[in-house]
């Protein structure tokens, strides 16, 4: 319900100027004008003083105005992620990328619901990835050049988002594995892709995963972090797992990551080197999407082991057996380097205070964060 006022009419009828009425009530002239314009609703004390000076009642000064029901504003968006799991009413975050509106489901954790810019109304073809969907808009706050969309698998990227927010930029995160993040970047659906598929060979970055996705010199690559990946087990490692060979032992229950995930790629490489077939690993075909989701199964006792990062193991007080160090890169289409928000992101990576904060909380090596590699 809105509130309308007859203050200007009653003031004129009593012959008061705005300044005279303001002095008698004890407010500023600007406040009187703001009340008359409907921009400010006074508190009870001021309302009673106004009524007394104007020899009227509060009810005559202010009336409830029936609020007209505005029709829902809807829009068509490109919806990223596991759309087959989404239902009408799903909260979404929105971001404009390359002239189109992209929607992602926010990560839900803790006790509270994350903020939302829209809710899902309809999926025209359920089960399709990156489909065109209809959403109900919850305002226009998402229509801002200060908002950028990043796809990647690093749970610690929330620290980067927090730092950017303090600088007036908003980072929307689509949590996807490295392969999917690169595909989103290829299709022009995100501003930044995080990936740890570009392994270092003989001290140089292996760019072969990019050659089939991007034209030559179309993307810029920046260092972000180096982290440890390995086996994550229950606290105290009750099954005495020491390496991938133990995954073939009887009684060891494992959960794997989805195709395209860097952790799955590492596991397959280690199993191949050890001469262990995937059929020997109980749970190899059990797929869990995301670092945190896999580690939660270990924490809750549903499985004995998964492959994830040391940071995730530490955050959940789990045991960690290192297998390899992996560099994590940020890839950006070159035209997006001109965006002020992207420039702020890259500058933030170089801040000593930011690097130290991330290292302290995650155990990542942030020494080269922000360094341009290509």
Q: What is the CATH number of the domain that holds 305?
A: 3.40.190.10
User: What is the rounded distance in angstroms from the CA atom of residue 250 to the CA atom of residue 79?
Assistant: 42
Domain of residue 135 covers 71-143
| pLDDT digit string (tens) for the chain, length 374 residues | 578 899 999 988 889 999 999 999 999 988 898 898 888 888 999 999 999 999 999 999 988 876 666 667 999 999 998 888 888 999 999 999 999 999 999 887 666 778 899 999 987 654 456 788 999 999 888 998 999 999 999 988 999 999 999 999 999 999 999 889 999 999 999 999 999 877 654 445 566 667 778 988 899 999 999 999 999 999 999 999 999 999 999 999 999 999 888 899 999 999 999 999 999 999 999 999 889 999 999 999 999 999 999 999 999 999 999 999 999 999 999 999 999 999 999 999 999 999 999 999 999 999 999 999 88
Same-domain pairing of 256 and 369: yes
Asked if 114 and 15 sit in the same domain, the reply is no
**19 and 88 belong to one structural domain:** no
| Per-position DSSP letters for 244-280, written without gaps between them | GGGGGSTT--B-BPPTT-HHHHHHHHHHHHHT--GGG
The answer to whether 64 and 18 have CB atoms below 8 angstroms apart is no
Does one domain contain both 352 and 227?
Answer: yes
Domains: count for the chain = 3
Indicate if 274 and 356 belong to the same structural domain. yes
Q: Within a domain: residue 190?
A: no
Residues 52 and 78 in one domain: no
Same domain, 347 and 259: yes
**How far apart, in whole angstroms, are the C-alpha atoms of residue 329 and residue 327?**
6
CATH number at residue 101: 2.40.340
On whether both 61 and 118 belong to a single domain, the answer is no
Both 120 and 88 in one domain: the answer is yes
pTM of the model: 0.76
Residues 84 and 135 in one domain: yes
**E-assigned strand segments in the chain:** 2-5, 62-65, 74-79, 91-97, 100-104, 118-122, 132-137, 147-152, 170-175, 192-195, 200-201, 204-205, 219-233, 305-309, 319-333
């Amino acid at each position: 319900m809105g509130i309308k006022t007859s203050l200007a009419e009653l003031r004129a009828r009593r012959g008061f100027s705005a300044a005279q009425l303001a002095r008698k009530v004890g407010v500023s002239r600007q406040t009187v004008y703001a009340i008359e314009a409907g921009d400010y609703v006074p508190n009870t004390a001021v309302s009673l003083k106004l009524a007394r000076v104007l020899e009227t009642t509060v009810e005559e000064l202010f009336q409830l105005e029936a609020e007209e029901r505005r029709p829902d504003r809807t829009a068509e968006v490109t919806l990223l992620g596991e759309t087959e799991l989404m239902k009408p009413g799903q909260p979404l975050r929105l971001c404009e990328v390359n002239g189109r509106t992209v929607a992602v489901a926010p990560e839900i954790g803790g006790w509270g619901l994350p903020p939302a810019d829209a809710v899902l109304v309809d999926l025209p073809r359920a089960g399709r990835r990156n489909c065109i969907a209809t959403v109900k808009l919850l305002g226009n706050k998402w229509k801002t050049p200060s908002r950028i969309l990043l796809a990647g698998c690093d749970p610690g990227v929330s620290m980067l988002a927090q730092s950017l927010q303090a600088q007036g930029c908003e980072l929307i995160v689509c949590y996807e594995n490295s392969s999917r993040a690169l595909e989103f970047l290829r299709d022009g659906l995100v501003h930044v892709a995080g990936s740890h598929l570009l392994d270092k060979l003989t001290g140089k970055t292996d760019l072969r995963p990019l050659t089939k996705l991007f034209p030559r010199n179309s993307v810029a690559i920046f260092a972000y972090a180096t982290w440890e990946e390995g086996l994550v087990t229950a606290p105290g490692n009750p099954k005495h797992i020491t390496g991938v060979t133990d995954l073939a032992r009887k009684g060891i229950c494992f959960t794997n990551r989805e195709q395209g995930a860097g952790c799955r790629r590492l596991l397959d490489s280690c199993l191949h080197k050890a001469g262990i077939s995937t059929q020997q690993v109980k749970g190899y075909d059990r797929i869990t999407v995301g670092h945190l989701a896999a580690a939660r199964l270990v924490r809750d006792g549903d499985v004995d082991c998964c492959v994830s990062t040391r940071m995730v193991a530490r955050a959940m007080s789990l045991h960690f057996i290192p297998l390899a160090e992996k560099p994590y890169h940020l890839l950006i289409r070159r035209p997006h380097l001109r965006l002020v928000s992207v420039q702020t992101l890259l500058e933030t990576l170089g801040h000593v205070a930011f690097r130290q904060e991330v290292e302290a909380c995650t155990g990542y090596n942030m020494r080269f964060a922000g360094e341009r590699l290509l």
